[in-house]
Amino acid sequence: MALISSRRQWKYDVFLSFRGEDTRLGFTTQLYSALIGKGILTFMDDAELEKGKSISPELLAAIEDSRCAIVILSRRYAYSSWCLDELVKIIQCMKELGQQVLPVFYYGVNPSEVRHQRGRFELKWEHQVDVEVREHEEVYGKHEDRLNAWRAALTQVANLSGWDFKNDS
């Protein structure tokens, strides 16, 4: 995989995965600014995401075109089907393209809670998926497969070495 990774032309150095409501106006924006300030090409989705919609092809391409993904696991990250679908794609790219994945366990998130899907990271279809998605479930396929993919991705990202961010400042 290292050979594939070393020859590949990356469009971005870093892809930021985060739940906008939790960290966009604080930590994530500061991290983005610091990375850009150091000349690191960073993708940060700033579009308003429509509830119930699947990830756009542009966002999937940005994930594939990034050398590294920083996943900011905030308290409500797993409440977003969008974030979980994004995480599945990130883990897929880590395995298939050699992308590096760096988790940030944001204030109040314990890696063990993520790894074992406990507390805020316990996945249940009725909690994770917006009403619009549940009403149009046939568009998204079997929900059990999707839940299993989310669970596997959360376990894998929690098993990676990352940063434990302890405070809000």
pTM of the full structure:
0.79
Reported confidence tier of residue 141, pLDDT bands at 50, 70, 90: very low
Q: Is residue 147 part of a domain?
A: yes
Q: Is residue 10 part of a domain?
A: yes
- 32: containing domain: 2-164
Q: Is residue 103 part of a domain?
A: yes
Least confident of 55-59, 64-68, 81-85, 111-115: 55-59
Q: Is residue 75 part of a domain?
A: yes
Q: Is residue 21 part of a domain?
A: yes
What distances in angstroms separate CA 168 from CA 25, 49, 67, 108, 157, one per listed residue?
Answer: 12, 25, 28, 10, 22
Asked if the model's pLDDT at residue 39 lies above 90, the reply is yes
Catalytic site positions: 86
pLDDT at position 26? 81
Q: Is residue 169 part of a domain?
A: no
CATH of the domain at 16: 3.40.50.10140
Asked if the model's pLDDT at residue 161 lies above 90, the reply is no
Q: Is residue 106 part of a domain?
A: yes
Nearest 10 degrees: Cα torsion 153, 159, 160, 163: 110
The total domain count for the chain is 1
Q: 11: closest CA among 51, 50, 60, 48?
A: 60
Q: How far apart are CA 86 and CA 89, in angstroms?
A: 5
**pLDDT one-digit tens code per residue, 108-126:** 888 888 888 877 777 665 5
Q: Is residue 118 part of a domain?
A: yes
Asked if the model's pLDDT at residue 25 lies above 60, the reply is yes
